[in-house]
Structure 1
Amino acid sequence: MKRSSSHRLVSHGRIAAAGCIVLLMLVAGVWSSWNTAHHVVLSKGREHGTMTVTGCGETACAGSYVPDRDSPQRARVTIVKSVAAEKGDRFPVVVKPGTGEVVRTGTAGFLHAWVPFGGALLLSALLIAGGLRMPRAAWGTAAAGAALLTATFLAL
């Protein structure tokens, strides 16, 4: 049976719309992750040290900071509250330039910074499967997102 031109137009429109939404979701995930990840990935020349959590509030945890050899001393630093930060925890950090806020470094910090991108991968897999009708690509995208989130959970 031959398809009508209107049916083909609707089909191509659906594919284009779903592709644009998938692309938008993935770009938003990378953008959101890069806000924190660039401090971890491009940490050369920044202040490095170790943070010991002394207490947590609603949105942030605060603690003492012991700098590495070339970093200046700071009395207190803060980090965005995470399920993995509890009183007494110690972990390596890098200081955001011009602030007293730190970001966790190392493998756990790297993976934690990319959590929004992992969520975007999982959500976009649904659109890839349903909107673009590409089940193999959707399974691969979902597996990559799930692997990133699982690795982050295990690392923290």
Structure 2
Amino acid sequence: MRSGAPYKRSRRRRLGENVYGMLLLAKTLLMVLVATVLLVAGVWASWGNAYPALAGEERGTVRVTGCGDDACTGRFSADTGSAPVKVTLGQAVSGSPGETLDAALRPGERHAVRADAGGILYSWAPLGGALLLASIVVVGGLRMRRLGVGLGLLGAALLAGAWALLTF
């Protein structure tokens, strides 16, 4: 080979390089799609309880009267002064019988969600789990360590904050 003359690769080698590049691009796009689906699913799962807790139309207080295996019941007294209504409240966020909590009713249902800081963070718990899962995909599949660690820390902080505010 002469010096200065361009080296021409074979057609077979060029085709192999193109296919390898396309496979890398397909893998990257698939990992981005998986991470995006995880995050959208987390927001979707959280929104049903988060919306009433953040901007619920019917707000008030719930006095917990009794608890079963997975739910507690209580009397919801609206801020508007309407008659108290019997509602259910998830046991994980309800506290103990006799306790009075800030709450909001889910639209069209007899299910109340907590409307204080602990209840709002707890309603976003599915998003926290999705952030943790997406962080694994981002670090492992996309090799973006800083972004993945950031997503994981954000998800862990959201879950820990909800637990701390509901426990203490």
Q: What TM-score comes out, normalization by structure 1 length? A: 0.89
Equivalent pair of 2:93/2:119 in contact (CA under 8 Å): no
Query: Is 2:24 the partner of 1:11?
Result: yes
Give the structure with the higher percent helix: 2
Give the greater-gyration-radius structure (CA).
2
Which whole-Å CA distance do the structure 2 matches of 1:125 and 1:89 have between them? 38
- 1:53-79 deviations in Å (ceiling 9; x for gaps): 2222233210123332x1412242111
| Equivalent residue number for residue 58 of structure 1 | 69
Identify which range, 121-130 or 9-18, moves more after superposition. 9-18
**Unmatched 5+ residue regions in structure 1?**
none
Letter in 1 for 2:19: S
The answer to whether the aligner puts 1:47 opposite 2:58 as a matched pair is yes
Unmatched 5+ stretches in structure 2: 1-13
Q: How many residues of Structure 1 are paired with residues of Structure 2 in the alignment?
A: 152
Shift of 1:20: 0.3
Percent identity, aligned pairs only? 34
Deviates more, 1:94-103 or 1:120-129: 94-103
Which is further off, 107-116 or 86-95?
86-95
What code does the residue aligned with 1:98 have? G
Give the root-mean-square deviation of aligned CA atoms: 1.8
1:95 counterpart residue number: 105
Secondary structure, counterpart of 2:92 in structure 1 = coil
Structure 1 runs (4+) deviating above 3 angstroms are none
Normalised to the residue count of structure 2, the TM-score between the two structures is 0.83
- The aligned runs of 1:25-36 (5 Å cut-off) are 25-36=38-49
